[in-house]
Amino acid sequence: MRLSRRLIRKSKFFLAVVFVCVVVRLLPYFAPIHTADIAQNQLALEFSDRNGLPLGTILTRDQEHTAVVPLNQVSPQFINAIIAAEDSSFYHHGALDMKAIIRAINQAIHAKQIVSGASTITMQLARMLEPSTRNFSGKLQEIWLAWRLAAGMNKNEILAAYINRLPMGGNIYGVEAASRTYFLTPASELNLAQASLLAAIPNNPTYFDPLQHWDRLKQRQKYVLNRMVQDGYITQQIADKTQTEKVVFQSRQRGIIAAPHFLFWLANQLSNTQPQETSPIFTTIDRPLQQFVEAQAQQVISNLAANNVHDAAALVINNHTGEVLAYVGSPDYFNEAKLGRNDGVQALRQPGSTLKPFVYELALEKKLIRPNTILADVPAHYAIPGAKLYSPTDYTQRFLGPVRVRIALANSLNVPAVRVLEKIGVPNFLERLHELGFTHLNQTPEYYGLGLTLGSGEVTLWELAQAYVTMARQGQSIPLVTTVNDSSIQNPKSKIENSTVWQLITDMLSDRYARATAFGVDSVLNLPFPAAVKTGTSSNFRDTWTVGFTSDYTVATWVGNFNGEPMRQVSGVMGAAPLWNRIMLHLHENQEPAAFTVPQGLIELPICADSGLRPTADCNSVVQEYFYPEDKIAYATQDKFNLPPEYNDWLAKQQSNFVSSNLRIVSPQNGDLFLLYPGTEGQQKLEFKLAGNPSSVEWRLNGEKLDIQSTNLFWYLRPGNWNLEARSADTSDKVSFQVELAKIRPTKRGFSVVNSQS
């Protein structure tokens, strides 16, 4: 009776244990994991150029290089190899391999250490999905997840999820990504040698890294091939032959063939899209052109190495479609020592003078200036609240005096550009720049000030190229397009009025003779076909730019240093222009572009190059310039050119008469008051000076003729009100000034100008 009770208790306990085990084993079926639950959304993106040529495959946002393929698109050689290496009985057991577990336990007991593992492919997949600690609780978690996987997925689904997550060295995951990276081929085309090598890597991706530990990997391949022989997949003869077959692994960076900066940038733009498995994304890049531009960027930088130049960037745009044909962010993306991963196309840098065309376009559009307007390239000073006087100067540190709009723009003169911006107003110009796509100019107008036209803000090469495409399209903006069949191509295009002014700006920027003063007639900016171009250099030679276009293409280039170091005396025409020149010549080597459209609705008339007015008999140089029809009457009646007082200081420094028909007293200036200190009578001199060098001159002081005919003379100061007159031929000029006795003697000899109204 007592034995019977004991047996009953044991039976109950056994049944309870069995019941608990059954319940535990059935629980996963109440929480199964299906294929859709573990779908890989963050995949690597495969890209090709506009003609289907591969560009490369880009990592996911978490930096894992993953490409997902269905099982039927993977070479059977690899499937057999990975099963033989990792779980030869995969199709014959459940989530756990009980035979392998018992074998592993027995081996561990006899050897007193772990000899072999019992982890199945399903358990390995579970560990990939939810990494756990390598202890008892972690193993239980792994088993539980493996059961749930087996409850919701069949063997092929589990195997597909597994091979698409295999760690394959570095940050490469999945057989497809590994095959394309290492062998530049899809996983479906792997041969036995390649497949057995790839199947050897996941066991310990770091230890068997094919690029670092080739001998170790070959030993592991031998193990994989032997297992395939044991499982009947291949013969020993085939295994031996495969073991000796030469296989070349490409560098991991070779997963990108061309345009790395573009691919990473575009992958980020497309991060919210879901590519269809391995279908490549067709970009607008032209791979042969891209590789040409990459090579030229490296060559130009090599030529400028002695000038402390290390980096370059370039963009090529199709003006008709807005498609990006080439995108180079740096000379070498994979050179980390030289900051190669920096993207010069998207980096914010000061644009130098490349914004000037848009200043002149807006001023012409608003009729604040005319094409024949004379601008003052003379020293100017602007008061800035809380700062020193702002005194813009040119690269050459020289001033040209009165210049036409065409000359000021083509030669990139700073002072005239600032004067034009002053007429427009910084807020209006900033608004126009926003319309043109300069989204990074997001500070207040006061923040940028008048220096905005000289590059006081920061923009990207992308934004510059987009704005110049608008110029090339005569004010018709279009989005820059990066993928084939991009819907943005069909979007309505906005118009920045008016086309005539854009045509006029294009005419000025393509005039090689207009820019000859600064660049020469035969500079690197001049091409054997019509091309409009503008250069720019930021302060301290940190950035050089050249942006220009033909009727078909816009090319934008930047040369500088990512680390901010100044280059040694490298201007836009020396730095970025040679790269621009090479690209433009390459683009048009087979067919020249069409000529630019002549400014519509304007008329061409001869003008005096110095005055911008109808030529007179004494005009030294006559050129053609465009006029608005309504200005034709004024043109016919104006031929006398008088420089305003703002030119006086500049005129005083000239060695020849600027305009022979115009006589100008530049010292003293009208309204000047001079102080004569006691005891210095007969010592203080005042220079009477004329602009230029007329053949003869007659001086009169308060109507009394002075017995000197030189353009310059010195007069001893005397108290009084004085009227000074200078005559030469049929021209003359007059000024009035005062001399007063001072009450206090100065510490230094000389005199003081108390007030000047000029």
> With b meaning 16 or more CB within 10 Å and e meaning fewer, what string describes 245-260?
eebebeebeebbbbbb
Band of the pLDDT at 303, cuts 50, 70, 90? very high
Answer yes or no: is pLDDT of 525 > 80. Answer: yes
Band of the pLDDT at 2, cuts 50, 70, 90? low
With residue 12 as reference, give the H or E element that holds it.
Answer: helix 2-26
499-509 vs 461-472: helix axis angle to the nearest 10? Answer: 110
* 611 and 737 belong to one structural domain: no
**CATH at 664:** 2.60.40.10
Of residues 500, 466, 469, the one with CA closest to residue 320: 469
Segment 469-493 mean pLDDT: 81
Q: How far apart are CA 173 and CA 65, in angstroms?
A: 6
Segment 19-39 mean pLDDT: 74
- For strands 704-705 and 698-701, give the pairing: antiparallel
Segment 477-486 mean pLDDT: 89
The pLDDT value given to residue 604: 93
First vs last C-alpha separation in the chain: 132
The pLDDT value given to residue 649: 75
Total structural domains within the chain: 4
Residue keyed to tokens 């497949």: 195
The pLDDT value given to residue 36: 82
* 750 and 682 belong to one structural domain: yes
Q: Three-state SS for 580? A: helix
Q: Per the domain annotation, does 302 fall within a domain?
A: no
The pLDDT value given to residue 30: 78
CA atoms within 13 A on the CB side of 413: 30
Band of the pLDDT at 195, cuts 50, 70, 90? very high
What single string gives the DSSP state of each residue in 422-471?
A: HHH-HHHHHHHHHHTT-TT--S-HHHHGGGGGGT-S-B-HHHHHHHHHHH
Q: Three-state SS for 107? A: helix
The pLDDT value given to residue 447: 92
Show which of 232, 255, 278 is a domain's final residue.
Answer: 255
Answer yes or no: is pLDDT of 656 > 60. Answer: no
Rg (CA), the chain: 40
* 571 and 689 belong to one structural domain: no
Q: Per the domain annotation, does 42 fall within a domain?
A: yes
Task: Say if residue 668 is preceded by a cis peptide, omega within 30 of 0.
Answer: yes
* 453 and 557 belong to one structural domain: yes
With residue 129 as reference, give the H or E element that holds it.
Answer: helix 121-129
Q: How far apart are CA 411 and CA 420, in angstroms?
A: 15
Contact 203, 220 (CB under 8 A): yes
What single string gives the DSSP state of each residue in 551-564?
A: SSEEEEEEEE-TT-
Of residues 200, 136, 164, the one with CA closest to residue 66: 164
Answer yes or no: is pLDDT of 187 > 60. Answer: yes
Q: pLDDT digits over 45-63, tens only?
A: 789 999 999 898 775 545 5
* 402 and 358 belong to one structural domain: yes
Q: Per the domain annotation, does 311 fall within a domain?
A: no
* 62 and 106 belong to one structural domain: yes
* 463 and 487 belong to one structural domain: yes
* 40 and 182 belong to one structural domain: yes
Answer yes or no: is pLDDT of 569 > 90. Answer: no
The pLDDT value given to residue 359: 98
Answer yes or no: is pLDDT of 660 > 50. Answer: no
* 363 and 441 belong to one structural domain: yes
| Of the ranges 27-41, 61-75, 274-288, 721-735, the best mean pLDDT one | 721-735
Q: pLDDT digits over 149-167, tens only?
A: 888 899 999 999 999 989 9
Cβ neighbours of residue 603 under 8 Å, at least 6 residues apart? 626, 627, 629, 632
Band of the pLDDT at 453, cuts 50, 70, 90? very high
Q: Per the domain annotation, does 282 fall within a domain?
A: no
Q: How far apart are CA 451 and CA 460, in angstroms?
A: 18
* 99 and 193 belong to one structural domain: yes
Cβ neighbours of residue 559 under 8 Å, at least 6 residues apart? 300, 301, 304, 309, 311, 312, 543, 544, 567, 570, 575, 576, 579
Q: Per the domain annotation, does 563 fall within a domain?
A: yes
**CATH at 418:** 3.40.710.10
Q: Three-state SS for 173? A: strand
* 554 and 614 belong to one structural domain: no
Residue keyed to tokens 């990975």: 82
Band of the pLDDT at 192, cuts 50, 70, 90? very high
Structural domain boundaries, residue 501: 324-587
Q: pLDDT digits over 68-118, tens only?
A: 888 999 999 999 999 999 988 899 887 787 776 666 556 555 555 544 456
Q: Is the pLDDT higher at 328 or at 182?
A: 328
Q: Per the domain annotation, does 292 fall within a domain?
A: no
Of residues 127, 103, 126, the one with CA closest to residue 115: 103
The pLDDT value given to residue 557: 98
* 576 and 694 belong to one structural domain: no
The pLDDT value given to residue 355: 97
Band of the pLDDT at 19, cuts 50, 70, 90? low
Q: Is the pLDDT higher at 732 or at 553?
A: 553
Category of 750 on φ-ψ map: left (φ > 0), alpha (ψ -120 to 50) or beta: left
Segment 602-620 mean pLDDT: 87
Least trusted range by pLDDT, from 34-43, 350-359, 588-597: 34-43
The pLDDT value given to residue 724: 93
Segment 739-754 mean pLDDT: 58
The pLDDT value given to residue 728: 82
The pLDDT value given to residue 277: 44
The pLDDT value given to residue 754: 44
Answer yes or no: is pLDDT of 747 > 50. Answer: no
CA atoms within 13 A on the CB side of 575: 35
Show which of 207, 237, 255 is a domain's final residue.
Answer: 255
The pLDDT value given to residue 278: 47
Q: pLDDT digits over 360-393, tens only?
A: 999 999 999 999 999 999 888 877 666 666 777 7
**CATH at 82:** 1.10.3810.10
Q: Per the domain annotation, does 733 fall within a domain?
A: yes
The pLDDT value given to residue 161: 92
Answer yes or no: is pLDDT of 141 > 80. Answer: yes
The pLDDT value given to residue 387: 60
Show which of 255, 278, 293 is a domain's final residue.
Answer: 255
Answer yes or no: is pLDDT of 560 > 70. Answer: yes
The pLDDT value given to residue 482: 95
| Of the ranges 43-47, 90-94, 626-630, 653-657, the best mean pLDDT one | 626-630
The pLDDT value given to residue 221: 95
Q: Per the domain annotation, does 286 fall within a domain?
A: no
Tokens linked to 427:
């807020």
